């Protein structure tokens, strides 16, 4: 109930929700009532344990937390209510990936460099996921984007301070662990290299190695695929080192970039999962190969509309092809703060516009668990928990 109330309160007026209801004949307060009623039923189309594999920590911060931290640190913001600040941060219309990535600059300077804020956003993140029914989540972020020393250039126009990328990882791990204990779910993290900052990538893999047993399970390459398609040698070196050290690998590819970026992610960077990967479908040979390899696609429906990655008409979404082809994929929020969304909205969108059924939601969550970056024993336990929760435990009786 809490989630639904919160969503409805901040969600009305959002283009995503608005577009869910464009066929409504109602106007004014009656329409508001109808929308909210529609939401409260739509948002829980799959009210069962779920796995989420593609969500950015810095794209999943509570607006209230941004306001609180700004106040404590004396950082001026253009708004001081959740409603107003939400309107500033969220993407109002389908845009471009570049425009979307610019949204982080509205608030990252507030939390970056602040130990208390970083622990708090990690902890609250776990709480929010638990409330959505997620039992296992892999959350990603760039440690460099949250640091203010030992990072060149220092991001978000911060003054040099004393918080290094290394300590950022330590703080996020602490926040996630505290959240795990409080909310009884499992949370692991993925550290992001950034496409435009190849000089950070070796640091990132070293941090993955250092915190391999502290909750970090993989490396990622995020950022603007449309600016720089060829993986820089420094990204390549980092991924080679990751493979050599048994660090799992995912890469944002084929979100807005062409199929060649997906090919490179899989063949050169040895990605085990593809972040988004929608444009893989434009190269049928590549797609068939990846299907045959059981490659996992981390699909983010609401994100794909608002970043302009996919046609805004959800009935034409690549996830429909993935479903028909019984591909291996997950459903994820990506950046719920900026998309003003929840995981429930991604599921209800898949249900309403893409014909997803309860059976498919079960199947894709099991594939997600099987493609997660936990060690084998923990992975098996997770898969088993889902089988149990979905009433799919095979009888051992003869
Ligand atoms: O959908 C996406 N595509 C590419 N990069 C993204 C996306 N969402 C977030 N980030 C980038 O990843 C960084 C680390 O979390 C974010 O700061 C943002 O720059």
Tokens of 118: 């970083």
Which mutation among 229, 252, 265 tests ligand 1's pocket best, with the greatest number of atoms within 8 A of CB? 252
Q: Is the pLDDT of residue 39 over 70?
A: no
Structure confidence at residue 226 (pLDDT): 73
Which residues, judged by CB distance below 6 Å to any ligand atom, belong to the binding site of ligand 1?
A: 56, 58-59, 101, 104, 140-142, 145, 192, 222-223, 252, 255, 303, 307, 334-335
The pLDDT assigned to 225 comes to 87
Ligand 1 centre to CA of 340 (Å) is 15
Tokens describing residue 172: 């996020």
Which pair of structure tokens corresponds to residue 156? Answer: 């978000």
Main-chain phi, psi angles of 373, to 5 degrees:
-100, 25
Give the tens place of pLDDT for each residue, 122-154. Answer: 999 999 999 999 999 999 999 999 999 999 999
Which atom from ligand 1 is nearest to the alpha carbon of 300? 1
Tokens representing 91?
Answer: 């993407």
pLDDT the model gives residue 229: 62
148 touches 111 (CB < 8 A): no
Q: Which atom of ligand 1 is nearest to the CA of 58?
A: 15
Residue 37: Cβ-neighbour burial (10 angstroms; 0-12, 13-18, 19+): exposed
Name the band, by pLDDT with cuts 50, 70 and 90, for residue 83: very high
Q: Which residue has the higher pLDDT, 92 or 67?
A: 67
Question: To the nearest whole number, what is the mean pLDDT of the chain?
Answer: 90
Distances (CA, A) of 336 to 5, 22, 159, 182: 16, 22, 28, 22
Task: Give per-residue pLDDT as tens, 220-264.
Answer: 999 998 766 677 999 999 999 999 999 999 999 999 999 999 999
Asked if this assembly's ipTM is beyond 0.95, the reply is yes
Question: Residue 2: its pLDDT value, please?
Answer: 31
Q: Which of 19-33, 75-89, 293-307, 338-352 has the lowest mean pLDDT?
A: 19-33
Rounded to the nearest angstrom, the distance between the alpha carbon of 391 and the centre of ligand 1 is 36
Local confidence band at 73 (pLDDT 50, 70, 90 cut-offs): very high
In this prediction, residue 42 carries a pLDDT of 46
Query: Distance, CA 284 to ligand 1 centroid (Å)?
Result: 27
Helix (H) or strand (E) holding 329: strand 328-331
Is 334 in a helix, a strand, or coil?
strand
CA atoms of 12 and 6, how far apart (whole Å): 10
**What digits encode the pLDDT tens for the residues 338-392?**
999 999 999 999 999 999 999 999 999 999 999 999 999 999 999 999 999 999 9
| Residue 255 bears catalytic tag | yes
Q: Is the peptide bond before 153 cis (omega within 30 degrees of 0)?
A: yes
Ligand 1, atom 12: closest residue by C-alpha: 222
User: Among residues 52, 106, 132, 255, which one is catalytic?
Assistant: 255
Predicted pLDDT of residue 397: 54
Q: How far is the CA of 222 from the centre of ligand 1 (A)?
A: 5
The pLDDT value recorded for residue 394 is: 66
* Phi, psi dihedrals of residue 141, rounded to the nearest 5°: -170, 165
pLDDT of residue 353: 98
Helix (H, G, I), strand (E, B) or coil at 368: helix
């Amino acid at each position: 109930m809490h989630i639904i109330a919160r969503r409805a309160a901040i969600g009305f007026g959002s283009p995503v929700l608005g577009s869910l209801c464009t066929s409504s004949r109602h106007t004014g307060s009656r329409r508001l009532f109808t929308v909210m009623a529609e939401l409260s039923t739509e948002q829980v189309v799959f009210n069962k344990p779920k796995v989420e594999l593609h969500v950015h920590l810095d794209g999943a911060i509570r607006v209230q937390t941004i306001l609180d931290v700004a106040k404590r640190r004396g950082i001026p913001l253009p708004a001081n209510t959740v409603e107003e600040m939400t309107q500033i941060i969220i993407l109002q219309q389908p845009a471009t990936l570049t425009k979307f990535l610019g949204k982080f600059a509205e608030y990252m300077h507030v939390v970056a460099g602040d130990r208390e804020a970083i622990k708090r956003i990690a902890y609250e993140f776990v709480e929010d996921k638990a409330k959505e029914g997620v039992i296992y989540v892999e959350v990603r972020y760039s440690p460099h984007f949250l640091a203010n020393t030992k990072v060149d250039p220092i991001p978000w126009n911060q003054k040099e301070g004393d918080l290094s990328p290394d300590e950022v990882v330590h703080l996020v791990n602490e926040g996630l662990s505290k959240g795990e204990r409080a909310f009884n779910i499992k949370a692991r993290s993925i550290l992001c290299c950034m496409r435009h900052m190849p000089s950070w990538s070796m640091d990132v893999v070293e941090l993955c190695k250092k915190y391999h047993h502290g909750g970090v399970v993989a490396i990622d390459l995020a950022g603007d695929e449309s600016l720089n398609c060829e993986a820089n040698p420094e990204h390549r070196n980092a991924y080679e080192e990751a493979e050599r050290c048994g660090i799992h690998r995912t890469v944002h590819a084929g979100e807005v970039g062409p199929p060649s970026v997906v090919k490179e992610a899989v063949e050169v960077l040895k990605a085990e999962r593809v972040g988004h990967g929608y444009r893989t479908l434009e190269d049928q040979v590549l797609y068939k190969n990846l299907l045959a390899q059981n490659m996992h696609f981390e699909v983010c429906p609401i994100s794909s509309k608002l970043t302009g990655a996919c046609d805004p008409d959800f009935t034409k979404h690549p996830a429909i092809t993935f479903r028909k082809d019984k591909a291996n994929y997950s459903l994820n929020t990506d950046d719920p703060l900026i998309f003003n969304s929840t995981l429930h909205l991604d599921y209800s969108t898949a249900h309403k516009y893409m014909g997803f059924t309860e059976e498919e939601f079960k199947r894709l969550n099991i594939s997600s668990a099987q493609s997660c970056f936990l060690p084998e024993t923990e992975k098996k336990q997770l898969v088993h928990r889902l089988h149990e929760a979905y009433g799919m435990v095979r009888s051992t009786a003869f």
